[in-house]
Structure formats: C-alpha cells, structure tokens
Amino acid sequence: MAFQFRVVESAAVYPARCRCGSVKAPLVDTLINDALGRLYVCSRCVAQMAALLGWTSPEDMSVREVAFQQLGATVARLGRELAEAKAAQLTVVDVEELLRRAREGEGVAA
Ligand SMILES: [Zn+2]
C-alpha cells in the first residue's frame, strides 16, 4: 500500500525542511515522522529520485516536445516538397507532350 503524500507550500512540522536542507516550496509532506522529525521532500530531490527511476523531468519533456514539433514541421515541409516534386514531374510530362504535339505540327506543316 502506497503512502498518502501531500504537497505543501511550507513545512510546518520540525525540521520544517527537506533532508537536503531546502525549504523552497512546494514540498512533499510524506506525513512520515522518524527520529529526525517530519520527512519533507523538496521538488529538486523528487526530480532526482524520479530521474533515478527513469522518469522524465518537465524540462526534458519540454525539450522533447520542441523536438517533436520540429520533426512535425520537417515532415510537413518534406510532404510539401514531395508534392511540389510530383507536380514538377507532371509539368515535365506536360512539356514533353507539348513538344511532341509541336513536332507533329511541324511535321504536318513540312
Ligand atoms: Zn531536497
């Protein structure tokens, strides 16, 4: 069974800080009391713990989201370029057809 933690803006119970010494809000109040007092965990320590477990930090998620958006833009650009290339290819076919018709016209005239 997991502990029920809560987020607090200030630590009210001794030692009123994370075990790393930080009092920076928000803090997780574990509601656990041991020989050193109430166990609070600051967001930096939570981030370190989460990273050890392979979880992604909000900063990493932001970087990944930007990269994902850039990849999406690249895919969209490549799609447009492919469509333009296909259109250009059709234009070449059209030009060849026009040239063929023009040659036929010259042949008829000659
Ligand atoms: Zn801490």
CA of 64 to the centre of ligand 1 (A): 26
Give the residue numbers spanning the domain of 86: 57-104
What Rg, from alpha-carbon coordinates, does the chain have? 33
List the pLDDT tens digit at each of the 110 positions of the chain. 788 999 999 999 999 999 999 999 999 999 999 999 999 999 999 989 998 999 988 888 899 999 999 999 999 999 999 998 888 877 788 888 888 988 898 765 44
**The pLDDT value given to residue 59:** 82
CA distance 86 to 99: 20
- Assess if residue 110 is contained within a domain: no
**The pLDDT value given to residue 108:** 52
**The pLDDT value given to residue 110:** 42
Residue 3 sits in the same domain as residue 51? yes
**The pLDDT value given to residue 40:** 98
Asked if 40 and 28 touch (Cβ cutoff 8 Å), the reply is yes
Residue 6 sits in the same domain as residue 45? yes
Q: What's phi and psi for 60, nearest 5 deg?
A: -65, -40
Q: What is the DSSP letter of 11?
A: -
CA of 8 to the centre of ligand 1 (A): 14
**Entry pTM:** 0.56
Ion ligand 1 nearby residues (CB, 5 A): 18, 20, 22, 42, 45
Count: domains in the chain: 2
